[in-house]
Copies of this chain bind each other. A is one copy, B any other.
């Protein structure tokens, strides 16, 4: 299966997110309400996207760390198909969340271990997001073999692995031969001079490489 393209809507307001969505909503596969937007406007952006796109996959990037059951139920009630939990959440939190929503993505930040990943697998979590943090990127880090090796290992464990952080059309090639589940782009699409074309370029590049 070809990797999906996921747009991370990380704007400050719902209105600003809708400007992007208007352009790229029909091109991308997954619509993500980013953490910044969740924390600014709560679940309203999730409800708005669900109203606009009854058939698309909608992800609430809550980075849930506790109260898994409540947060997941709220996301689902608002219309989200998937939500994210943070990798340092406890297993009971992840389990509780996993019961209430279609699918969870574990967001890999900081010092997670493959031992933890094994536990996530055991409780039925299918997805992980391999992350280059924006702040890490801002401080000069970038994608390298160290990252790609970890991604390969996660794929081998049976996870659907999405990747994100400073991606552009050219960085897609780095992942050639790896079974990436989704490429997640935010500013790379939303801040492009022509977001629709940027999204289509991503799709075309994915088609070319995979």
Interface residues of A (CB under 8 A from B): 10, 12, 35-36, 38-44, 62-71, 74, 86-90, 92-93, 95-96, 107, 109-113, 116, 131, 133-136, 138-139
The answer to whether residues A43 and B43 also contact, given A35-B71, A87-B88, A133-B92 and a CB cut-off of 8 A, is no
**Are A88 and B88 within 8 A (Cβ)?**
yes
Question: Once the chains are docked, how many angstroms separate the CA of A165 from the CA of B88?
Answer: 17
Task: Tell me, in angstroms, the Cα distance from A100 to B190 when the chains sit together.
Answer: 25
Shortest A70–chain B CB gap in Å is 5
B39 with A41: CB separation less than 8 A? no
Residue of B nearest to A107 (CB): B65
Note all chain B residues with C-beta closer than 8 A to A10.
Answer: 67
B68 touches A88 (CB 8 A): no
